[in-house]
Amino acid sequence: MSIKYNREKFEKILSRTPSKWAEKHKAKKESNSLGQDSAMVAINVLTLLEEKKWSQEQLAQIMNISPKEVSKIVKGKVNFSIELIATIEKAFGQKIIQIN
């Protein structure tokens, strides 16, 4: 194989589609940030459960959701929508996050 052939092949590969690495990196970084925020909400919920000496089952009853959903909340494995956060705050009677 000649250097010319390798160069032509390399240039052909490069010219097919532009790289999306920057977009993928940005999406991954944003996803990681959301994961950290979810973890913080989960920690706040766990802290309030401990302070109030409530079980996850009690919180589930108060929120009118399944214990399985509360388990996801305390693990940070749910999409913390404004509605869900408001429901949690109503159950505890206090804020669980502060928006700056």
Q: What is the pLDDT of residues 2-61, one digit of tens each?
A: 677 777 776 766 666 666 766 776 666 666 666 788 889 999 999 999 999 999 999 999
Over residues 70-96, the pLDDT tens digits come to 999 999 999 899 999 999 999 999 999
pLDDT at 97: 86
pLDDT at 43: 93
Please state, in angstroms and as integers, the Cα–Cα distance from residue 21 to each residue in 18, 33, 35, 63, 64, following that order: 9, 18, 21, 42, 43
Asked whether the beta carbons of 46 and 55 are under 8 A apart, the reply is: no
